Structure 1
């Protein structure tokens, strides 16, 4: 009996340790470092992103380099769950070279669900009369869809476009009546976002929305944050996948 109790105590301690480790991973987030592992090409290397802090909220702001023809569009990217915002700086830099300003907000605990309506303040601060495209990866994409559905129900239309990356609008987030364009990007070997749910999500997007496949890619290739548990195995390089993702953004932004 004593031996059994000792083993039971050991198992309880191990369980608590693993639980504490999981909680610690969520509560203690890695530092927000701008400029690390974000250069896509020679042109993007010349950019100097800014970490803007307003009322305690931090946002990565990437503006086009001097001399670039400026596009009349602001891009906002909601990061995936537990993914640091700098993971999407590569995309922001590539878009900046093309003339687009992009902002990537930091959420509490890196969970967009903690402040779904963050885009409202970002639009007020950074859009300056420009049209807005809201993009989101994984949980960030779901919360972007939820935000727009909430705005639509309130009679507001804050954005011109929506880009979902390995994501889909939550049940009840009906955007079919929204006057905006939308595109859903799905990585071919994504084992994190359910492909059936991603495809079914088109039913909750405006008419004419497209589902595009990023050939050979996996869920984590939308951001530079390393491999993700449960994800598939890529059959293309990260750079090849990023080229496809950027091309999809180029084509979509050109239609607005």
Structure 2
């Protein structure tokens, strides 16, 4: 009976994730879609086999069955937690190509390319945990309109630490870029700091800048990181709080530029709706986005040869 209950619960979670986050599931990195599909197939197979009464299990077989049921329940919880925050407008509109920006997608990245002459400085961006990469299109598109190619990682399962090699892959895919700014939101910024620190002394296409959105490094990079750093944060953020950002000063190189957007929350660095645990913004999404984009453009202007 417990096996059937768990199998049904798994199917319900798969259906819930697919129905409520369909765009992010099919447009994001395929890893989560594969997990959903695999879970659904296994659950259906379990339900099919459980039609026939099973002989009672005793001893280690019975204990093993309990362990499997508990493990399956944990798996269902993880699968539900991994459900992505889906991009909403105006990010979706910003994903459309026009005469200023050409937007292309692969299974592992979104690329916003200037339609005209491109700068030699490009931006590689890591989304926040479980956030649809398309959610950053509206805030980052003006960077592409200003001539800077933008590459947004599609992280496996929406976790930046599973995309540590994504920056090197983007560099290989865009040999025309002379130098990179590596950026990220929340957990994505933490991963971006690692990637920038690794690539700041590269002989070809180095990371010359680190752009943090509501984020900070996991370790002290104040001496090892030679890239120029900009931190953009919000006063109403309750996930990367103002106190967290202030504390990060000691872990970042001297001269790091800190821009604080008064009234902005954590989720306003992208367009994906409210986020549990976040503060309540006191400025509009449009106002927050405009200030975040403006700070990013100022940072890039200072790095472009």
Q: TM-score range by the shorter chain?
A: 0.7 to 0.9
Displacement after TM superposition at 1:64 (Å): 1.1
The 3 A distance-change label for structure 1 pair 190 and 252 is: same
Q: TM-score, normalised by structure 2?
A: 0.67
Displacement after TM superposition at 1:73 (Å): 1.0
CA contact (8 A) 2:235 2:262 kept: yes
CA contact (8 A) 2:125 2:153 kept: yes
Displacement after TM superposition at 1:174 (Å): 1.6
Q: Deviations over 1:131-177 (max 9, x none)?
A: 1001100000011112233456xx64730101001100002x42433
RMSD over equivalenced CA pairs, Å: 3.1
Distance across 2 between alignment mates of 1:231 and 1:34: 18
Counterpart residue number, 1:110: 158
Pick one of 24, 49, 53 that aligns with 2:79. Answer: 24
Displacement after TM superposition at 1:178 (Å): 2.6
Where does the alignment leave 5 or more consecutive residues of structure 1 unmatched?
Answer: 1-14
Counterpart residue number, 1:130: 178
CA contact (8 A) 1:83 1:110 kept: yes
Distance across 1 between alignment mates of 2:227 and 2:109: 25
Distance across 2 between alignment mates of 1:27 and 1:43: 29
Q: Which moved more, 1:77-86 or 1:193-202?
A: 193-202
Distance across 2 between alignment mates of 1:18 and 1:45: 50
Q: Which moved more, 1:143-152 or 1:71-80?
A: 143-152
The DSSP-based 3-state class of the residue aligned with 1:49 is strand
Q: TM-score, normalised by structure 1?
A: 0.79
Q: Does 1:78 align with 2:126?
A: yes
Counterpart residue number, 2:105: 51
Counterpart residue number, 2:260: 213
Counterpart residue number, 1:192: 239
CA contact (8 A) 1:92 1:102 kept: yes
Number of aligned residues: 233
Higher helix fraction: Structure 1 or Structure 2? 2
Displacement after TM superposition at 1:86 (Å): 0.6
